[in-house]
A and B are shown apart, each in its own frame.
Chain A
Amino acid sequence: MRTLNLPAALHLASLAAALAVLVIALHAGRAAGGPANQEFQAKLNYCETCHGPSAQGFRGYFAMPRLAGQHPQYIENELRAFIERRRKNPVMFSVAHTLKPTLVSALATHFEKLNPPPYGGAPRAGAAFGKEIFEQGLPEDNVPACFACHGLKAEGRGQIPRLAGQLYWYIIKVLTNWSNERGQGAPDISAIMLPTTHNLTRAQVEALAAYLSSLR
């Protein structure tokens, strides 16, 4: 049986403790004020200047979409579409092409976890009709049920966007402008929405927006 060398053991223990303190301090530094975190915070502030506190969305001259609760894969796809100009938006082009990939995934993961209430202030008229379109489609008008891809609660998944709580005015802009903004130059997954957006009337779009913008 080996005998315990007490002074050596104590020495080892204090070394281990010092090491632990160092590791914790380094971690804390990164979490609280390290350069990587400062860069993330600054960029997050920048995003929320337009997309609103907690990425709730914001209605300025243009409607800035809610990013809270959105899926990282969808956000990453759209940022790439802005850069490749498949999705036409001069402001987001200049935003997207200066974003580092590591920052994109950190921001997207952050936004996914946020869950502020819907932006509010939207008309509610037609919301019941909107729910009907969302859940059953408009078979006579060649419009499939939205929930089939976007989920029963409009929660989306992966590269299919969450629509629940999205801004009323943004939904209207997107659905009435699809062929001018999406899939430019090279067709991409956005092409799936093209016939549907053409077949919806303005009143149907407004009904969908009233319904979706109220969902939590």
Chain B
Amino acid sequence: MKRIVTKLALLTIVSCVAGPLLASETVPVKNCTWCHGPSGQGYSNAPRLAGQQELYLDAQLMNFRTHVRDNPYSRDFMWNAVVHVDEDMAHGFASYFASLPPEAANDGNRDLVASGRNIFEFGVPEANIAACIVCHGPNGEGVRGIPRLGGLSYFYLKRRLEEWAEGYSPAAEPMPKVARSLSGRDIEALASYLSFLEYGAER
């Protein structure tokens, strides 16, 4: 019941409030920041958009529209939220949030950071787990349509990996395949490590 109330409240906000535009805003970003935070830093249940790769944000907005991205929160919240988002508006949202400087969520388990980093950088060849670094970059910064992972919240990262393993968003190959090869412990370790990765961190 509580979930339905929250959902209704969010939907009401998202569909009714077109916040007053700031001079610098060419798209109604207020519709996004109610859930993703005033500076796009996200919350545990709504991912950080600040500093995310522009092409990735753009593609995800379209994936919500076409229902290609079909995990439960996307289905429940984002499918409705993007009903009136056309391609131009998607470009505008994407470039706005990509330009904001992200902060790290720092909400993972510190004891798992070392093992998470090891999986991220080298994979686990014996278990046929590929190294995340080759696509997502040395600091988890992402590139082009490949998302930034560094600094995202532990809960979001963990849930996404679990959802791929459960069969959601099957079109996002190779992630479903990768996620299925990870154990629960691997997922917790990766999500923990990534949650502490600072924007532009030097290694």
* A residues in contact (CB < 8 Å) with B: 42-43, 45-46, 48-50, 53, 58, 60-62, 64, 90-91, 94-95, 97-99
Contact = CB atoms under 8 A, between A and B. Distances in A.
Contact of B123 (A42, A60, A94, A99): A94
Instruction: Give the most central of B125, B146, B174: most A CB within 10 Å.
Output: B125
A150 B129 CA distance: 34
A91 B128 contact: no
A61 B149 CA distance: 12
B121 to A, nearest CB: 7
A64 B138 CA distance: 15
B178 interface: yes
Say which size band chain B's interface belongs to: 20 to 34
A49 B125 contact: no
A50 B134 contact: yes
Contacts of A48: 174
B126 A60 contact: no
In terms of DSSP, what is the predominant structure of the interface of chain B?
Answer: mixed
Nearest to A94: B122
B28 interface: no
Instruction: Give the most central of B130, B137, B141, B142: most A CB within 10 Å.
Output: B130
A91 B146 contact: no
Interface in B112-131: 121-123, 125-126, 128-131
* Closest CB pairs A-B (n = 9): A60-B135, A46-B128, A61-B137, A98-B125, A49-B130, A94-B122, A91-B131, A49-B174, A61-B143
A119 to B, nearest CB: 14
Given A60-B135, A60-B146, A61-B143, A95 B178 contact: no
A62 B131 CA distance: 12
Given A61-B138, A61-B146, 4 more contacts: A45-B128, A48-B174, A50-B130, A95-B123
B177 interface: yes
Contact of B177 (A49, A97, A98): A49
B136 interface: yes
Contacts, number: 56
A94 B134 CA distance: 13
Contacts of A49: 130, 174, 177-178
Nearest to A64: B134
14 contacts: A43-B128, A45-B177, A46-B125, A49-B130, A58-B135, A60-B134, A60-B136, A60-B146, A61-B135, A61-B142, A90-B122, A91-B121, A91-B133, A94-B125
A61 B122 contact: no
Contact of B126 (A61, A90, A98): A98
A50 B146 CA distance: 13
B54 to A, nearest CB: 15
A62 B134 contact: yes
A61 B177 contact: no
Contacts of B128: 42-43, 45-46
B134 A91 contact: yes
Nearest to A41: B128
Instruction: Give the most central of A53, A95, A99: most B CB within 10 Å.
Output: A95
B133 to A, nearest CB: 7
A87 to B, nearest CB: 16
Nearest to B175: A49
A91 B133 CA distance: 9
Interface in B146-165: 146
